[in-house]
Amino acid sequence: MRILIVGAGPTGLTAAVELARRGMLPDIIDRRDSGSGLSRAVGIMPTSLKILKPSGVTAQLVAEGIKFHAVKIYNGASLAFSMRLALKGRKDEFVLGLPQDRTEAHLQSAFEKYGGKIQFATELENLSQTGEQVIVTFTDGTTENYDYVIGADGISSTTRSLLGLGFPGHDLPETWSIADVDAENWPNGNSFTICKLKAREIVVVAPLEANRYRIISNTEDALKSLPLPINVTKIRRQGQFGISIRQVEAYSKGRVYLAGDAAHCHSPVGGRGMNLGISDSAELAHRFATGDLAGYSANRHREGKIIIGGSETIRKFVTSPNFFMRKLLFALLWLVGKLPFLQVKIIERILYGGLLEE
């Protein structure tokens, strides 16, 4: 069986590894010249770690990443809430922090161990389908026939456009900002820190590795907006980005399947984008192995909708400019601090996004 994966981001690489592990070595292309140096996603969730365990990738990620021990929420600069991010008796379930480019590097080397090779500087231009084959044209003018194609080519997916599938949703009007910094003496080195500022503004700090942090905010300058003192020794990158909330109308058409950002996108709140793509790919590879491809689209659409809905509910709640919502947020946090069973529910939601079988 000949399978082509378009895109060697975390989604395409997971599909490549999971197919190769089952003896179905695919072709995988990316229009980039080499591996990515961009570290967009930070948090790797327990479901992703479980998926990547048999290939040996999880052991590599855990050896290099940082385990998030706690979530801390500040009202301005005052600590309002702190909760350990661990479930009793489930010690191997935690959120791991690692820059996305490192996760991709470990996936790439696992794929190579199975005998695979990413074809960089190769770009999908067109595709058409007969009942039994997908005819793929690359930008250098060459053509190849495949049994199946997996479009894992990100938010502006060429595959999705060529299939003519709608990507309904909306773009948030505001711009968010990001800063990756080296810093010393940050007190929350193993915690996920959220600062609620005035009105709708928030700043989030997540550790990337020892003394290296990601700061994200819905203000114009994440670093300047952080209300807590941080001793920055180096700014690795700073910038702004827009956010779209969208989900493709169907995850497959004929013999072509979509996964990852090609099929869905949402805000980084909840840290689920990359993890959802990893789950898409794991399910797709499993279905290729069992020959049960028919249910892929409906199941991934349903699960994606739950994750996007959950991420949006939290984003709207924590960024609400409403005075009463702010009061309600801190009152709820106070209550959660008093009630351990509610803490378990919240930790489960953070770890699994509302999907125990994500």
Ligand X SMILES: Cc1cc2nc3c(=O)[nH]c(=O)nc-3n(C[C@H](O)[C@H](O)[C@H](O)COP(=O)(O)OP(=O)(O)OC[C@H]3O[C@@H](n4cnc5c(N)ncnc54)[C@H](O)[C@@H]3O)c2cc1C
Choose one: 3-11, 229-237, 302-310, 348-356; the region binding ligand X (CB under 6 A): 3-11
Q: Under a CB-based contact definition with an 8 Å cutoff, are residues 72 and 186 in contact?
A: no
Within 234-263, which residues bind ligand X (CB under 6 A)? 241, 260-261
Taking the least distance from each CB to ligand X, the nearer of 241 and 334 is 241
Q: Supply the minimum distance, in Å, between the C-beta of residue 39 and ligand X.
A: 9
Q: Which of 177, 195, 296 is nearest to 240 (CA)?
A: 177
Q: Which residues contact 173 (CB under 8 A, 6 or more apart)?
A: none
End-to-end CA distance of the chain, in Å? 28
Phi, psi of 40 (to 5 degrees): -75, -65
Q: Supply the minimum distance, in Å, between the C-beta of residue 139 and ligand X.
A: 8
Residue 334 binding ligand X, by CB under 6 A: no
Binding map of ligand X across residues 157-176, x = CB under 6 A, - = no contact = -x------------------
- Say whether 315 sits in a helix, a strand or coil: helix
Q: Supply the minimum distance, in Å, between the C-beta of residue 78 and ligand X.
A: 26
Q: Which of 16, 28, 96, 124 binds ligand X (CB under 6 A)?
A: 124
Q: Which residues contact 189 (CB under 8 A, 6 or more apart)?
A: 66, 207, 210, 211
Q: How far apart are CA 51 and CA 10, in angstroms?
A: 13
Q: How far apart are CA 67 and CA 56, in angstroms?
A: 18
Strand residues in 218-259 grouped as ranges (E): 231-241, 244-247, 252-253, 256-258
Q: Supply the minimum distance, in Å, between the C-beta of residue 340 and ligand X.
A: 27
Residue 281 binding ligand X, by CB under 6 A: no
Residue 275 binding ligand X, by CB under 6 A: yes
Residue 43 binding ligand X, by CB under 6 A: yes
Q: Which of 3, 15, 28, 41 binds ligand X (CB under 6 A)?
A: 41
Which chain residues interact with ligand X by CB under 6 A? 6-12, 29-32, 36, 40-43, 100, 123-124, 152-154, 158, 178, 241, 260-261, 268, 271-275, 277
